[in-house]
């Protein structure tokens, strides 16, 4: 049981280049999301998905695209990288929480991907 797997762990890009951060989970979670972590700002939600074919924007979506063609995979695409996108990126998944139910909606995180844009 691998949990949430992110690749690559490190990446250096030049301004204007494109790339895709891969995320896969093997827990059959409906919910998947991408966060970025910047010093002093905690984790901020970029995009999320509540199931295959369904995605929506989070707090900081500009410059990023996502798609969800399968339950397992949720890639994050940077179309034209900018220095402001230098950050640590986390993919996370969970079962959808149910009010009053035993499922808390705890997020399971990947190990993170450190991206530097020059």
Partner 1 sequence: AQKITQTQPGMFVQEKEAVTLDCTYDTSDQSYGLFWYKQPSSGEMIFLIYQGSYDEQNATEGRYSLNFQKARKSANLVISASQLGDSAMYFCAMRGGGTSYGKLTFGQGTILTVHP
Residue nearer to partner 1 on the CB measure, 9 or 80: 9
Beta strands 19-25; 10-13: pairing state: unpaired
* Residues in 41-60 that interact with partner 1 by CB under 8 A: 41-45, 48, 50, 58
Stretch that binds partner 1, among 11-19, 60-68, 72-80, 94-102 (CB under 8 A): 94-102
Peptide bond preceding 8 in cis form (omega within 30 of 0): yes
35, 38, 44, 45: CA torsion to nearest 10? -30
**Which H helix or E strand runs over 76?**
strand 76-78
Stretch that binds partner 1, among 16-24, 32-40, 63-71, 79-87 (CB under 8 A): 32-40
**Taking the complex as a whole, how short is the minimal distance between the CB of residue 85 and partner 1, in angstroms?**
18
Q: 53 to each of 50, 112, 115, how far by Cα in Å?
A: 9, 24, 27
Size of the site for partner 1 (CB under 8 A): 29
Stretch that binds partner 1, among 20-28, 64-72, 77-85, 87-95 (CB under 8 A): 87-95
Rounded to whole angstroms, how far apart are CA atoms 6 and 76? 10
Contacts to partner 1 by CB under 8 A? 31, 33, 35, 40-45, 48, 50, 58, 88, 90, 92, 94-97, 99-100, 104-109, 111-112
């Amino acid at each position: 049981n691998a949990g949430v797997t992110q690749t690559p762990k490190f990446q250096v890009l030049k301004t204007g280049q494109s790339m895709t951060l891969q995320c896969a989970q093997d827990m059959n979670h409906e919910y998947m999301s991408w966060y970025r972590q910047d010093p002093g700002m905690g984790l901020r939600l970029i995009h999320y998905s509540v199931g295959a074919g369904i995605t929506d924007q989070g707090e900081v979506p500009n410059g990023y695209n996502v798609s969800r063609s399968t339950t397992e995979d949720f890639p994050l695409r940077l179309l034209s990288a900018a220095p402001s996108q230098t950050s640590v990126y986390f993919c996370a998944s969970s079962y959808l929480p149910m009010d009053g139910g035993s499922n808390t909606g705890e997020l399971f995180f990947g190990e993170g991907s450190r991206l530097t844009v020059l």
